[in-house]
């Protein structure tokens, strides 16, 4: 693992008006790792990702991406820099076809040959999307829409991929398939993945390291295996 983080938050505070969702969190993500952020509903997990990608602006603290401070960089300028989010709820374009959704993922790119190559790559990861390429996104099943949201993000050629609750509302067999693909993406592309996930057991089985977030504060950081074996974590988040 590189000694230098590709993404770092230092004492970040953010929220929504008078509601302070993050109360001074600091974390690091290193190149090529899967980092899990776990916690109860309302802990600030999604706000962490939205703050990283510029949708929510920090009131205090600093965010660094590849050594550059990005606090004030507009959200739409981050995907071309290699920082992309798959938001909770998928947020695909329901009236556009699968292929049109994927093309929009490459909106900032001008390398035609590279775009075509990556389109074939995401179709190889998600064969069902190739079968559905002319179908409107809104007619896909929930699992297929999650695959499309993930595939669309991959079309940006991300160096850091932020995933917000990828298992939400999906059948267990589909969830396992999605997480297998997430692990495959990380293994074969060295993409750094920051994973916010309510299913703490699956998240920690997939990740190398993890942070525990409680009411806007980081309360624990460790390698994923140690967190999985931590009695307090198992009781609080794994239903034991």
Distance of CA 127 to CAs 103, 176, 178, Å?
17, 16, 13
pLDDT attached to residue 18:
87
pLDDT attached to residue 130:
96
* Cα 98 from Cα 138, distance rounded (Å): 9
Based on the fold, state whether residues 223 and 164 are members of the same structural domain: yes
How many Å is the maximal CA-CA distance in the chain? 51
Are 122 and 129 within 8 A, CB to CB? yes
Based on the fold, state whether residues 8 and 76 are members of the same structural domain: yes
pLDDT attached to residue 157:
94
Based on the fold, state whether residues 72 and 12 are members of the same structural domain: yes
Based on the fold, state whether residues 222 and 118 are members of the same structural domain: no
Q: What is the CATH number of the domain that holds 11?
A: 3.40.50.300
pLDDT attached to residue 237:
83
Q: Which residues of the chain have pLDDT under 70?
A: 1-2, 239-240
Residues for the chain: how many in total?
A: 240
Q: Could you tell me the residue range of the domain that residue 5 belongs to? A: 1-82+160-240
- Domains identified in the chain, total number: 2
* Cα 81 from Cα 166, distance rounded (Å): 23
Is residue 233 exposed (0-12), middle (13-18) or buried (19+ Cβ within 10 Å)? buried
Based on the fold, state whether residues 110 and 168 are members of the same structural domain: no
Identify the helix (H) or strand (E) that includes residue 128. helix 127-131
* Cα 204 from Cα 232, distance rounded (Å): 14
Based on the fold, state whether residues 171 and 191 are members of the same structural domain: yes
pLDDT attached to residue 171:
87
Based on the fold, state whether residues 53 and 66 are members of the same structural domain: yes
Tokens 């309360």 belong to 219
Domain final residue pick, 157, 174, 206: 157
Question: What are φ and ψ of residue 193, in 5° steps?
Answer: -120, 125
* Cα 201 from Cα 224, distance rounded (Å): 10
pLDDT attached to residue 198:
85
pTM of this structure? 0.91
pLDDT attached to residue 122:
94
DSSP, collapsed to helix, strand or coil, labels residue 73 as: coil
């Amino acid at each position: 693992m590189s000694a230098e983080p590709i993404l770092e938050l230092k004492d970040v505070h953010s929220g929504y008006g008078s509601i302070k969702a993050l109360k001074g969190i600091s974390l690091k993500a290193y190149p090529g790792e899967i980092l899990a952020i776990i916690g109860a509903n309302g802990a600030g997990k999604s706000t962490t990702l939205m703050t990283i990608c510029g949708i929510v602006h920090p009131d205090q603290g600093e965010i660094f991406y590849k050594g550059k401070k990005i606090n004030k960089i507009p959200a739409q300028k981050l995907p071309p820099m290699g920082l992309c989010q798959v938001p909770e709820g998928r947020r695909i374009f329901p009236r556009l076809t699968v292929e049109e959704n994927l093309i929009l993922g490459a909106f900032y790119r001008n390398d035609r040959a590279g775009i075509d190559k990556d389109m074939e790559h995401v179709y190889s990861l998600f064969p069902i999307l190739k079968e559905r390429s002319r179908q409107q996104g809104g007619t896909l099943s929930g699992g297929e829409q999650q695959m499309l949201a993930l595939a669309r993000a991959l079309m940006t050629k991300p160096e850091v991929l932020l995933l917000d609750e990828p298992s939400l509302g999906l059948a267990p067999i589909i969830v396992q398939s999605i997480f297998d693909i997430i692990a495959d993406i990380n293994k074969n592309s060295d993409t750094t993945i920051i994973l916010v996930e309510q299913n703490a057991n699956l998240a920690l089985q997939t990740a190398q390291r993890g942070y525990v977030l409680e009411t806007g504060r980081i309360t624990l950081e460790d390698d994923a295996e140690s967190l999985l074996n931590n009695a307090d974590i198992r009781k609080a988040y794994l239903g034991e």
